Structure 1
Amino acid sequence: MTDMTDSQRVQKRQQPKLLLKWSWRELWQGQLWPVAVALTLIIACVFALAALVSRVEKIMTDQGRSVLAADLVLVSNNPIEPTLLSKAEALGLTFSEQTRFGTMAFSEQQMQLISVKAVGNDFPLRGQLALQDLQRSQSKVNPGELWLSERLFSLLDVKQGDTVAIGDAELRVSGKIAQDPELSFNPFSQMPAVLIHENDVAATGAVQPGGRVQYRLYFMGSDDKLAAIQDFAPLEPGQRWLSETSQGRTGEFIDRARQYLSLTLILVILMATATLVLTCQHYTSTRVETVAMMKSLGASKRWLWRWLSGQLAMLFGLSAIAGLSIGWGLEVLLRLPLADILPDPLPDMGMSPLLISMFVALLVAIPGIGISLIRLLDAPAISVIQQQADRPKNNKAYALLLLPVAAALIWFGDNKLMWMTLAGIVVVLALLAFFGLVVLSLLRKRKWGPAMMLALSRISRSPLTTGAQLAALTSSLMLLAVIWLLRTDLLADWQQTLPIDAPNVFAINISAEQQQDYLAKLDQENIPHSEAYPVIRGRIVAVNGVDLLAKADDPEQRDEALRRELNFTWRETLPIHNDVLDGNWPEAGLAIKGVSVESGIAERLGLSVGDELGFNVNSQPFSVTVNSVRHVEWRNMRPNFYFIFTPDVMADLPATWLVSFRIESNQNDVVNQLGRDYPTVSLMDLRTMASRIQLMLQQVSLSLSVLAALGVLSGLLLVMTLLRLSMSQRQQEIKLYRTLGASRKRISATVWGEYGLMALIAGLMAVVGAEAIVAALVKWGFEMPPQWHPMLWIMLPTAAIGLVLFIISTMLKQLLQPLKS
């Protein structure tokens, strides 16, 4: 009895070693290694993508904040309250004050309306300010200094050291502003800028009660502290916050790029999850007999759980090490195309990619592997000698799906784009799977050759399995198409709104007498330019007889377009870069007083075709009828207007003219000569701003292309995994066909026909699904006009058939190999 007890103790001590050895052999010599590979790829892809997304987001955020000169800016029409400064200091935020106002600058020879920016010693908090004089350069404005934008030297006819009077103060010109980090674009309100120190504002006497003065407070600090200062200071009338996502054109494409990055990450996770689930299901299907045999030999369910838990722990540990290593290397490779434009040093990616990849892997693995293993352990011992196809399934295992669902609810929150994408994918897949079965049913009614008839019979024999295979193959093709199409549409939209040849200089205040000469001068210098637009300022005051200015008690609550004068123009035809959404522009020569309204202001003010609008120009009231509503792309740096009138409305009123044109880097002398030849014409030189926006666009575009390529590779991996597993499951059927006397040629033709047909149907359905999802995302998620992609209808089905041909050609010979005599 004692010997028996000792023997049992020895066996008990050796049992963990045996389990470990068995688990290791099962991992590498069994069918568990595909699951390990799938989990490794999930960790690697999510880590690489999350790391690159983290870096790109930080780069985009830094770029966006650099054009603000801070992390957050408060713009106010009234002086900043001291309590706000005290709160910022208490929070540990770095802050800087700025005062802006317009006034006249006088030199001995000339005078010019200018925009004065009075800054402190610590401006800017972000970005670079470059000031140059004849001997040196500096990055801070000191008291007593006056720095001019380059074109003011010719407009005021001054040089460094000359005296310029600004209000009551006389300041000596210290040099030129070589680079100002703050970007803005409004050719109608921009004036040449000068920089002075905030200590010199009082000496100018230009800031008076009731004057048009703007106060800005710049903040720099952590995001939580920035949120705290915003909560402490709710906006009052005449105030607004500026951040990297609210700063005009740069904020818009940064926000869209962020949405795309997040969406790409989610779609890659979905495709990687599908790959893991498929491989795990295949593994469990090959281990039913093993588990049944172990149960027949007396193994308890608890022991089996220990056996499988050891395998899973080893699998997850090895996958984590391999996945993180591969992911790190993959992230390095993904950065290679961006090497020339990424900042040096790179932003730190932090710990979030590691935590996200491990957390996602756990959330995916628990239900993805757990459901299959629970059902595997429920296999009865009799399965050793007889398959139990109709045995009851443990539906409680599906409760594990609550983990990723709960995580998605917390992660996505109120992100409408994500929920819209997921809901669209589910609906589209269900519809496409149904239509796929309908198409297959219709094909069976036609007469085909023996091989094709056998293939159709095989496909239609199990509609649920066929529907699942079609849905899986379609979804993988569709998701990779969605990733690439969204990237293509975003880049096309950005290139369209800010093309390489976009205008970068605006000439305004051109008198009627100078207009023809000015255009002739541009033509003489071979400078491409826009048409000349007459410009006159006025207000909209009424709609259908209702006074708009009397509708709101608080003037600050009125629409922004009602609180100021607007720039009006008139034309024989509408600009070619405006799209008419409703109504019609009258034919040339018809004396019909009308106005075309920009769609944004039409929506805000509730305007539509046929409404009668009241305007006031130079104290002269008049009324016209809305004849059309048009879409205006404000980001394209072209002359754009809220209201465009027919010539018979105001052509007789005095107006100045506007023209935009493009100046290359080697044509600086042309700009200076234009300033000297036409001193009364204001030149808005936006080349610095345009080049910086183009650089940001280049960075974001390349990043999106790299991320889209990774998403496509994940989709291709899913497709190849799906096809390989499906083919391996056909091995038993192929043996049966061979036993019944089917030739190798007939079997090959049947397999080619079956999978070729499924690939063609899946490819076509994937195109339909991708077009539908992308159109919905573009229209309601990214707020861009949707468009069709004709080449996709050829490329995706062709790619699907090509993948099938590749998989079949590599596996069919192997499947037939055991049948050789």
Structure 2
Amino acid sequence: MTARDWRAGELTMLLLALVLAVAALSSVGFLADRLHQGLERDARRMIAADFIVRADHPVDPQFAQQASALGLSTATTAIFPSMINSTAAQPVSRLAAIKAVSPGYPLRGALRIASAAAAADHPAQTIPPPGMVWVDQQLLDALKVRIGDTVKVGNHSFTIGAMITRELDRGFSFVNFSPRLMMRADEVQSTGLITFGSRVTYRLLVAGTDASVARFAEFAHGKVDGGKMRGVALESLQDGQPQVRQTLDRASHFLTLVSLLTALLAAVAIAMAAHRYMRRHLDGCAAMRCLGVSQRTLRALFTLEFVGVGVVGGALGVALGYLGHLALLTWLGSLIDVVLPYPTAWPALEGIAAGLVLLLGFALPPLLPLTRVPPVRV
């Protein structure tokens, strides 16, 4: 029966509607999967770690000890505002956000610096060398200095070694809107800037395997939750950095809405094709009923036929959807200028499953009259 319907062209419109539906769903699925993987990968870079312990006082050493015991990498940062002075004949002062970092920073992603104002930037391999600081373009312009000049930070003078061009974990706190100056954590004491009453944000960065990070997060929540430690907060991709979490949620909701609208349009097309198929097969089913075919047999025949059509159409639609998502990425052009991870197999499986659901849900109900057609119609 399936071969006869195919030769007669009865399944052409139905198969075309199914292929287009699965192609649309799977193309959105492939794109959403790659974007979601890319967002999660880059979101870790935006906090420079997998998990963060933040405090308004030096972080309790037991957190670092537990991280080391679990085989996790750690680094520390301390962020506070202070005045920076140039050492020119007419000194210029400017409020800056000083960031003191320890070796190993950042644990995720890379800090990009430039050795000269007109030079191309590159990833920083280490933290600032002893006696040097890195500043951003805003601070260079405010102090009217250049790379290689000297600035005074508290009681100590430092040489500007490079210009910061990209700092992913800068964050959106009020202090970070000031120009940035980055220095070594072991040289902060020589500046004399951190004293009693200084407003400093201390952060312990932790990174490693997902299982080890999850165990450390459980340990940290056990120590902090319920107000057990005052002035201590925990940050991660899920419960910290709300701007990262909102980006992931909004992207997921938007792509889900697109998939839903695509599925609705596909369902209408499949239902219309099924109605056409039903009208053209009423007489044939009536003749089969005259020859003694039962309603149960007819239902089984149509179910098997449409499941086979669904599997074939789903496979073709997934292949077309994969090419379609590549075309979408090409059309987006410079809007997505990062290398996205390869998609997983889930969008393909979901596309085929969605195609079967649409086909059986919107094509079989219009076909029910075929199983109940009376023999007297002949």
TM over 0.5: yes
Instruction: Give the direction of change, closer, same or farther, for the CA distance of 1:193–1:356 in structure 2 (3 Å limit).
Output: same
Distance (Å, rounded) in 1 between the aligned partners of 2:268 and 2:65: 54
Aligned length: 363
Aligned equivalent of 1:200, options 177, 187, 195: 187
- SS at 1:124's partner residue? coil
Evaluate the alpha carbon distance shift between residue 44 and residue 89 of structure 1 in structure 2; reply closer, same or farther with a 3 A threshold.
farther
**Superimposed CA distance per residue, residues 341-385 of structure 1 (whole angstroms, 9 cap, x where no aligned partner):** 433533222122112212212332333234344453233333x33
Deviation at 1:221, TM superposition (A): 6.2
Alpha carbons of 1:162 and 1:244: their partners in 2 closer, same or farther (altered >3 Å)?
Answer: farther
Alignment of 1:379-390 (within 5 A): 379-382=373-376, 384-385=377-378
Matched, 1:40 2:6: no
Seen in structure 2, the aligned counterparts of structure 1 residues 38 and 184 have a Cα distance that, compared at 3 Å, is: same
Q: Distance in 1 between matches of 2:122 and 2:259?
A: 45
Q: Which of 30, 33, 37 is the aligned partner of 1:51?
A: 30
Judge conservation of contact 1:130–1:137 (CA < 8 Å) in 2: yes
- Measure the CA separation in 2 of the matches of 1:284 and 1:177: 68
Q: Secondary structure at the match of 2:82?
A: strand
Out of 233, 239, 242, the residue aligned to residue 220 of structure 2 is 233
State the SS of the aligned residue for 1:175: strand
Relative to structure 1, is the Cα distance of residues 369 and 222 closer, same or farther in structure 2, using a 3 angstrom cutoff? farther
Q: CA deviation at 1:246?
A: 7.0
Change (3 A) 1:84 1:141: same
Deviations 1:257-295 (A, max 9, x none): 432221111121122123223322332333233222112
Within 5 Å, give how 1:184-195 maps onto structure 2.
184=171, 190-195=177-182
Task: Give secondary structure in 1 for the equivalent of 2:194.
Answer: coil
Given the alignment, which residue of 356, 370, 377 partners 1:362? 356
Q: Which amino acid aligns with 2:201?
A: Q
SS at match of 1:97: strand
The aligned counterpart of 1:761 is none
> Aligned partners of 1:277, 1:225: CA distance in 2, in Å?
50
Change (3 A) 1:131 1:34: closer
Q: Note the 1:232-271 alignment, pairs <5 A.
A: 232-234=219-221, 236=227, 238=231, 239=233, 241=235, 243=237, 255-271=249-265
Cα RMSD of the aligned pairs, angstroms, is 3.7
Matched-pair contact (CA < 8 Å) for 1:75–1:214: yes
- Distance in 1 between the 2:353 and 2:95 partners? 59
Contact map agreement 1:96 1:219 (CA 8 A) in 2: yes
Q: Which amino acid letter does the alignment assign opposite residue 359 of structure 1?
A: A
Distance 1:224 1:41 in 2: 41
* Change beyond 3 A, Cα 1:322–1:69: same
1:278 matched residue in structure 2: 272
Question: Is 1:213 matched up with 2:200?
Answer: yes
Question: How is 1:98-177 mapped onto 2 (pairs within 5 angstroms)?
Answer: 98-109=77-88, 110=91, 111-133=93-115, 139=124, 140-144=126-130, 145-153=132-140, 160-161=147-148, 163-177=150-164
AA paired with 2:75? S
The higher-RCO structure (CA 8 Å, 6+ apart) is: 2
Give the partner amino acid of 1:271. Answer: L
Match in the other structure for 2:322: 328
Identity of aligned residues (%): 25
Cα distance in 2 for partners of 1:83, 1:380 equals 80
Cα shift at 1:69: 3.8
Choose the corresponding residue for 2:333, options 334, 339, 343.
339
Cα contact 2:75–2:105 (8 A) shared by 1: yes
- C-alpha separation in 2, matches of 1:154 and 1:35: 65
Return 317-326 or 167-176, whichever deviates more.
167-176
**Alpha-carbon separation, structure 2, partners of 1:315 and 1:218:** 53
Q: Which amino acid aligns with 1:35?
A: L
Alpha-carbon distance in 1 for matches of 2:238, 2:309: 43
Any unmatched runs of 5+ in structure 1? 1-21, 386-821
- Give the Cα–Cα distance (whole angstroms) in 1 for the partners of residues 68 and 110 of structure 2: 24
Q: Is the 8 A contact 1:75 1:242 kept in 2?
A: no
Q: Structure 1 29/331 Cα, relative in aligned 2: closer, same or farther at 3 Å?
A: same
Alignment of 1:634-713 (within 5 A): none
- SS of 1:233 mapped into structure 2: helix
Inter-CA distance 94–268: structure 2 relative to 1 (3 Å threshold): farther
1:268 aligns to what SS in structure 2? helix
Q: Hey, what's the Cα distance between the residues in 2 that align with 1:154 and 1:320?
A: 59
CA deviations over 1:727-757 (Å, ceiling 9, x no partner) = xxxxxxxxxxxxxxxxxxxxxxxxxxxxxxx
CA contact (8 A) 1:64 1:245 kept: no
Deviations 1:774-799 (A, max 9, x none): xxxxxxxxxxxxxxxxxxxxxxxxxx
Rounded to whole Å, the distance in 1 between the matches of 2:67 and 2:15 is 51
Query: What whole-Å deviation, never above 9, does each CA across 1:575-597 have from its counterpart, x for those lacking one?
Result: xxxxxxxxxxxxxxxxxxxxxxx
Q: Distance in 2 between matches of 1:87 and 1:274?
A: 57
Structure 2 gap ranges (5+): none
Q: Distance in 1 between matches of 2:310 and 2:72?
A: 43
Correspondence 1:542-581 to 2 at 5 A: none
- Cα-to-partner distance string for 1:475-510 (whole Å, 9 max, x where unaligned): xxxxxxxxxxxxxxxxxxxxxxxxxxxxxxxxxxxx
Q: Deviation at 1:301?
A: 4.4
SS at match of 2:100: strand
SS in 2 for 1:131: strand
Q: Deviations over 1:413-451 (max 9, x none)?
A: xxxxxxxxxxxxxxxxxxxxxxxxxxxxxxxxxxxxxxx
After TM superposition, the structure 1 = structure 2 runs for residues 532-551 of structure 1, keeping only pairs within 5 Å, are none
SS in structure 1 opposite 2:363?
helix
The answer as to whether partners of 1:163 and 1:170 remain within 8 angstroms in 2 is: yes
Normalised by the length of structure 1, the TM-score is: 0.39
2:127 partner letter? V
SS in 1 for 2:76: strand
Q: Which has the larger radius of gyration?
A: 1
Report if aligned partners of 2:35, 2:340 keep a CA contact under 8 Å in 1.
Answer: no
- In the superposition, the TM-score normalised over structure 2's length comes to 0.78
Which residue identity does 2:284 align to in structure 1?
Answer: T
1:289 aligned to 2:275?
A: no
Task: Write the mapping of 1:428-443 to structure 2, written as runs, cut at 5 A.
Answer: none
- Indicate the residue corresponding to 1:780 in structure 2: none
Measure, in 2, the Cα distance between the counterparts of 1:318 and 1:289: 27
Residue 31 (str. 1) matches residue 10 (str. 2): yes
8 Å CA contact 2:81, 2:175 repeated in 1? no
